[in-house]
Structure 1
Amino acid sequence: MLCRKIRYSVVTIFILFASPMLLASQEVGIAWRYATGGAIRGEPMISADGKMVYFISEDRYLYAVTSGGIHRWRYYLGDRVADSLSVGVDGTLYAGLKKGGIVAVNPAGKEIWRFLYGDGDPPGPPVTGTDGSIYFATKGGEIYKLSHTGRIKWKIETSSEVSAPVTLGKDNRLYIPLFDGKLLTLTPWGEVLWSIKLNGSLGRPVVDPDGYIFILSSKGIIYAIGSNGELLWNYETGMDFSEKTYPVLKDNKLYLCSKTGKIFVIDKSGRLLWKQSIPESVETPCILGVRGGLFVFSPRGNLYRVSYDEEPVLVFSMYFSPVFPVIACNGYLFTGGADWIFYALDLGNEEDNCKGNKITITSGWNIFNTDNFFEAEMEYKYLKLLVESDSIDSKKRAIRELEERINKGYPGKAEPYILNLLTLLLRQGVFSPIESRNRWEKNYPEIRLKAALLMGEIGNLYTQSLLVDFLRYEYDSRVLAAVIEAIGNLRSDPEGLARKRFLELLETKGRRIIDNSIAKEIIVAIDKIIEYHGELGDEAARALLYIFREDYNRDVRQKALSVLRGF
């Protein structure tokens, strides 16, 4: 404890004396600074709307600060942190631990879950798919896929240790760089799609929107690989690159910063456009501003502005080795270092481009239409025959077998077609009801009820969106309750559509069977969703308040009041 206090005092004194020098730069100024209790680690993350910046420190805290430098919250992670932080598509933060683990924290700064695998410092941060799934590698070469609720979907072992952070590309393909020089490509359900052997251990892959992969090797070679695994070209730089660096892609150009200070700009066809150098080494990726300006940080904390037709210009010095610098949409450069300070640097000529990115989760009944891909799978064909049979016994058998496959553990490749078959079962009787004795009856409510609950157990954000759409059509109270329960179990509602649909259900009580039990299921589901996201939301508040306008029993009203008081 005494050593820590002495260290803190020394660093504080240095900062006080260094501050005038930090402010001395004429071209780049400090927009704001934020002091922590330890060195800044890893790459800062920026929220989808550009309003928040997140970072981790060796003091074991995860910090949330506005892009203007105002403190929002900090969360104590409890263990030593790794250089590992990422933001999911629904805004959830995933922080890595040095002992081998991931902590999921919501945008309000509360822990949702943690997953410990105990294999040491991870090679990079987790990546998240468009369906909310989390992919990450361990130090020993294991690859995991987790659901957004922390459930294991699958786990595989590679032939070598993972050498750099994994990357997720087009169609949620996972690209894994290995120390033995192999680039491994996996499908979202954990099967090897293709692999290619390159020269040297590999850095972090970069994937463009067309599915082309660009990757640096320890031999100083940049490779371009097609979406089917074919080698398109390679360019030998003759330079060494830090294991922390990777190609930066913008406007069909690749920017490479080498250890020796050489900077290469190459087009997507492998042609050298220009190169430049700074008088120091470089250990972090090149930095590209919002308007295309090129900046480079040295390990000494010197920031250079670089162009092809001018000598590099020193524009800022922080006197400490920086972590991965990140440019925000407002043109600020975020970084930090061993001085325990997180910096927002104003690059001066960068324009504010913060328009706010809306989170969009793909919806629709065809999201799990996997017939074309799985038509050769005999198990899928067999189960689909049972599902589409007119026999209630066959459908019950299909449900039992699907549940058995889920309970066995990691569904792996079976995951998408299990969800597809459950969707088919859930739909039956809703879009094709039968008329009997002058009234409409629903087919197979017990089957559809079970299908909904299983979807809530193994589903993803696509499933959540699909179940929310389903609320419009279901009139059987038992199935409706199961769908609401499944939505609550999936928890994530980034666009607020589930909470909006719950309000609509309550407002249509006269035309739908919204009794006390259904109302209570809605309240429980809302409670789980707001606990996951850390915010109530207007629709959820209106839905809970609407409970008091109707003649629901005391138990339902008390439950609604309890949720409201919690926020």
Structure 2
Amino acid sequence: MKSGDLFVYRASGTILLSFVLILPLHPASAVEEASMPSAQASWRKALGARIVGPPAAQAQSVVAVCDDGSLRAFGISGTELWRYDSAGKALPHLARSREGTSYLGLADGSLIAVNRSGRELWRRALGGPLVQGALFGFDGRIFAFAATELRCFTPAGFLLWRRTLAAPPSCLAIPDAAGGVLVALRNRCLIRFDAFGGSSSVALEAPVLTIAELSSGLAAVALPNGEIRAFPSIKDGATEAGFTLARLQGEISALGALDGKLAYLLSDGVAGLLDLAALSAGSMGAGSMGTELWTGAAPVPSSANSALLSLDERGVYVLDDKGAAGFAWDGRRLWYLGIKGASTLPAFSDDGLLFSGGNDWILYAYRVEERIRTGVASLYGRAPLRSYGLSEPYPGEEIEDPYRFEESAVDSFLAAVEERLRSGEISGDEKDFSSRLRAIASATIDSGPSAQATHPAVLPFARVRAVELLARFASREHIPFLCLLFEQEEETLVRAAAASAIGTIGVDPEGTAMAAFARAVFPPRAVRDERLLVSLTSSVGALCRFSGPPLSDEGIRLLVALAASERPSRVRSRAVTELESLMQ
């Protein structure tokens, strides 16, 4: 910090500016500093309640959860978008998926999904109250931690699996590079869960303060003695199998990683950056150490788990309830904003705004950067860089046993999958089940005029059941397959089931399904079958309710066309019902 840094004090809803003189914390490591942002809020909104957890900023909007159980959404210019009342005591744990769905927890152990228009989609009972915000997999699946349990849900609220933890988490769990989660427990155990419920663990000799996942797949943990230790692999039964990345002088409050760089924040407000490029290249092992690129004063004194580090292509950002700071990748401190009277950690948006909730029941927005993240979509969050491979390019799946497509074998398999879904324990069989369900559902579609059947024909009823079960996996990775089935299948019942399945999954961030539906509604490929149009109409309504705008804007256009007088009466009636539900 330097003389002249601006602090923001909050008292009775009034902002007071004060200049303070503080000596640099680490003169030897001081870096060049850019000009400070204005401490005057760009806008503020009185909420009538106190914000209890960090706001969630995404796609030109911000959502905050308040102590009256409400969830409030605002645009980046301060316009109130909607308000949702949970009718319960809200916990300070809020997260938003790529589609803009907000997930919040209640003290009674409920997990609630609220779409980007403020409509409650579903609520599920957990094994106890949430202990942190939900985490998300590549396909939007939700990882929810209660005190000693981890549950995995689909975006539509179906339970895929649950795992009991031997002890509560010792710090915030994080998504890992493979689409699973990494968590450290209070019993000094580090566990990696994959997306399908599989796990591996390593026993540590000291408790973990905070963790980070490196792009190379390394798990980095901060220990109480100031050591950052790395684990290239986590194997069951292993004990302390890692190596030291750095030994720092002080307690580590937070870690963050991006592109071979590891950022850290110490409890005295010193931030730093380590270069791990050599480790990513394969020179890992005893004696491997990261190269320190720079250190600088945040300055935001913090204890473990009371601050966050956020890294993107613009730089390294320190977020604490006492203030926030931004550093360029070369170590220059770009800005610092000190905050007094904050009720929780702030949130930094892709648009360069810092959102902070005050004990004065006001949400503040500060313009701290003019730079906007590259490649930011204005309507949805960032797309995942990888997938789980749940829906390989169709057709041409390998069929190991053609007899499993005999009628009795198909019925037995479908019954087994349905029972596993009912019990909420699909876990490691999800890929195999998905592949076999796709093969059953698409039993009559050929890849071309010369294609030959690879298995016996499957009855339409069984194919419909396969599509319905596939929908309950609710992975967005199945959307392209279902769209193909909807557009190319000859059997109307199966086409209608594919349309309904898309609505059950509920997400269509790329607009693939809505485009397929539009081709079926408007010439030259408009369909006339009443059953198919009714299923399509219901699916469009479901997508609109789940995703909200902008997907719902296109969906409403389709529903209006389906409600036209020339449509069959059942189709018109369904379209009107769906339109009315969207207006509620």
Q: If the length of structure 1 is used for normalisation, what is the TM-score?
A: 0.81
Q: Is it true that 1:205 corresponds to 2:211 in the alignment? A: yes
Contact 1:365-1:466 at 8 Å conserved across structures: no
Q: For 2:326 and 2:414, locate their aligned partners in 1 and report how far apart those are by CA, in whole Å.
A: 62
Q: Is it true that 1:222 corresponds to 2:218 in the alignment? A: no
Query: Which amino acid in structure 2 is aligned with residue 119 of structure 1?
Result: G
Q: For 1:184 and 1:414, locate their aligned partners in 2 and report how far apart those are by CA, in whole Å.
A: 21
1:39-90: CA deviations, max 9, x gaps? 323332222x3x1112222232212111222221221222222221111132
Query: Which amino acid in structure 2 is aligned with residue 239 of structure 1?
Result: G
Aligned position for 2:116: 107
Q: Which moved more, 1:182-191 or 1:262-271?
A: 262-271
Aligned position for 2:484: 469
Contact 1:361-1:461 at 8 Å conserved across structures: no
Aligned position for 1:19: 15
- Residue 328 of structure 1 and its aligned partner are, at CA, apart by 1.9
Query: Which amino acid in structure 2 is aligned with residue 208 of structure 1?
Result: L
Q: Greater RCO between the two (CA within 8 Å, min separation 6)?
A: 2
- Residue 189 of structure 1 and its aligned partner are, at CA, apart by 1.3
- Residue 417 of structure 1 and its aligned partner are, at CA, apart by 1.3
Aligned position for 2:347: 326
Q: For 1:313 and 1:72, locate their aligned partners in 2 and report how far apart those are by CA, in whole Å.
A: 31
> For the structure 1 residues 293 and 137, does the alpha-carbon distance in structure 2 shift closer, same or farther, using more than 3 Å as the test?
closer
SS in 2 for 1:504: helix
- Of 555, 559, 562, the residue aligned with 2:574 is 559
Query: Which amino acid in structure 1 is aligned with residue 170 of structure 2?
Result: S
Aligned position for 2:275: 267
- Of 277, 292, 301, the residue aligned with 1:281 is 301
Q: For 1:33 and 1:223, locate their aligned partners in 2 and report how far apart those are by CA, in whole Å.
A: 42
Query: Which amino acid in structure 2 is aligned with residue 261 of structure 1?
Result: G
Q: For 1:55 and 1:162, locate their aligned partners in 2 and report how far apart those are by CA, in whole Å.
A: 24
Q: For 1:203 and 1:386, locate their aligned partners in 2 and report how far apart those are by CA, in whole Å.
A: 53
Aligned position for 1:394: 409
SS in 2 for 1:256: strand
Q: Is it true that 1:340 corresponds to 2:343 in the alignment? A: no
SS in 2 for 1:352: coil
Q: Is it true that 1:127 corresponds to 2:135 in the alignment? A: yes
Matches within 5 A, 1:23-38: 27-29=37-39, 30-38=41-49
> For the structure 1 residues 32 and 505, does the alpha-carbon distance in structure 2 shift closer, same or farther, using more than 3 Å as the test?
same
Contact 1:288-1:327 at 8 Å conserved across structures: no
Contact 1:290-1:329 at 8 Å conserved across structures: no
Aligned position for 1:64: 73
Q: Is it true that 1:490 corresponds to 2:500 in the alignment? A: no
SS in 2 for 1:520: helix
- Residue 433 of structure 1 and its aligned partner are, at CA, apart by 9.3
Contact 2:319-2:346 at 8 Å conserved across structures: no
Aligned position for 1:172: 179
> For the structure 1 residues 214 and 366, does the alpha-carbon distance in structure 2 shift closer, same or farther, using more than 3 Å as the test?
closer
Matches within 5 A, 1:536-547: 537-547=552-562
Contact 1:131-1:462 at 8 Å conserved across structures: yes
- Structure whose residues are more often helix by fraction: 1
Matches within 5 A, 1:347-426: 347=368, 350-353=370-373, 355-357=375-377, 360=383, 367-368=390-391, 385=401, 389=405, 391-426=406-441
1:458-501: CA deviations, max 9, x gaps? 33211233212221211111211222222222222223322221
Q: Is it true that 1:240 corresponds to 2:251 in the alignment? A: yes
Q: For 1:416 and 1:173, locate their aligned partners in 2 and report how far apart those are by CA, in whole Å.
A: 15
Contact 2:139-2:387 at 8 Å conserved across structures: no
1:323-350: CA deviations, max 9, x gaps? 33332223222222433222222225x4
- Residue 412 of structure 1 and its aligned partner are, at CA, apart by 1.8
Aligned position for 1:519: 533
> For the structure 1 residues 466 and 246, does the alpha-carbon distance in structure 2 shift closer, same or farther, using more than 3 Å as the test?
farther
Contact 2:265-2:309 at 8 Å conserved across structures: yes
> For the structure 1 residues 77 and 325, does the alpha-carbon distance in structure 2 shift closer, same or farther, using more than 3 Å as the test?
same
Contact 1:362-1:465 at 8 Å conserved across structures: no
Q: For 1:304 and 1:366, locate their aligned partners in 2 and report how far apart those are by CA, in whole Å.
A: 39
Matches within 5 A, 1:27-106: 27-29=37-39, 30-47=41-58, 49=59, 51-106=60-115
Q: For 1:475 and 1:28, locate their aligned partners in 2 and report how far apart those are by CA, in whole Å.
A: 63
Q: Which moved more, 1:249-258 or 1:441-450?
A: 441-450
Q: For 2:562 and 2:481, locate their aligned partners in 1 and report how far apart those are by CA, in whole Å.
A: 25
> For the structure 1 residues 322 and 216, does the alpha-carbon distance in structure 2 shift closer, same or farther, using more than 3 Å as the test?
farther
- Residue 181 of structure 1 and its aligned partner are, at CA, apart by 1.8
- Residue 94 of structure 1 and its aligned partner are, at CA, apart by 0.6
Contact 2:308-2:318 at 8 Å conserved across structures: no
Q: For 1:258 and 1:362, locate their aligned partners in 2 and report how far apart those are by CA, in whole Å.
A: 31
Aligned position for 1:531: 545
SS in 2 for 1:285: strand
Query: Which amino acid in structure 1 is aligned with residue 251 of structure 2?
Result: D
Number of aligned residue pairs: 526
Q: If the length of structure 2 is used for normalisation, what is the TM-score?
A: 0.79
Aligned position for 2:162: 155
1:165-216: CA deviations, max 9, x gaps? 2222222122111112211011211111x22223432244322333222222
Q: For 1:362 and 1:289, locate their aligned partners in 2 and report how far apart those are by CA, in whole Å.
A: 15
Give the unaligned 5+ runs of structure 2. 1-8, 21-34, 236-240, 277-288, 451-455
> For the structure 1 residues 546 and 305, does the alpha-carbon distance in structure 2 shift closer, same or farther, using more than 3 Å as the test?
closer
Aligned position for 2:279: none
> For the structure 1 residues 556 and 308, does the alpha-carbon distance in structure 2 shift closer, same or farther, using more than 3 Å as the test?
closer
Query: Which amino acid in structure 2 is aligned with residue 28 of structure 1?
Result: S
Query: Which amino acid in structure 2 is aligned with residue 256 of structure 1?
Result: Y
Contact 2:207-2:224 at 8 Å conserved across structures: yes
Contact 2:314-2:328 at 8 Å conserved across structures: no
- Residue 163 of structure 1 and its aligned partner are, at CA, apart by 1.6
Contact 2:216-2:260 at 8 Å conserved across structures: no
Query: Which amino acid in structure 1 is aligned with residue 562 of structure 2?
Result: I
- Residue 98 of structure 1 and its aligned partner are, at CA, apart by 3.1
SS in 1 for 2:11: helix
1:430-450: CA deviations, max 9, x gaps? 117999xxxxx9753232122
1:2-31: CA deviations, max 9, x gaps? xxxxxxxxxx99335x42327999743222
1:365-418: CA deviations, max 9, x gaps? 963469xxxx9xxxxx9xx636654x4443334333433443444222122211
Aligned position for 1:451: 466
> For the structure 1 residues 23 and 118, does the alpha-carbon distance in structure 2 shift closer, same or farther, using more than 3 Å as the test?
farther
- Of 266, 285, 294, the residue aligned with 1:258 is 266
1:496-544: CA deviations, max 9, x gaps? 32222122123368785x3222211111222222122234634423432
Aligned position for 2:6: none
1:74-117: CA deviations, max 9, x gaps? 21222222221111132211112233221110000111111222
- Of 476, 487, 494, the residue aligned with 1:479 is 494
Q: For 2:474 and 2:434, locate their aligned partners in 1 and report how far apart those are by CA, in whole Å.
A: 7
Q: For 1:434 and 1:395, locate their aligned partners in 2 and report how far apart those are by CA, in whole Å.
A: 26
Q: For 1:46 and 1:303, locate their aligned partners in 2 and report how far apart those are by CA, in whole Å.
A: 15
Give the unaligned 5+ runs of structure 1. 1-11, 376-380, 436-440
> For the structure 1 residues 281 and 214, does the alpha-carbon distance in structure 2 shift closer, same or farther, using more than 3 Å as the test?
same
Q: For 2:171 and 2:257, locate their aligned partners in 1 and report how far apart those are by CA, in whole Å.
A: 18
SS in 2 for 1:367: coil
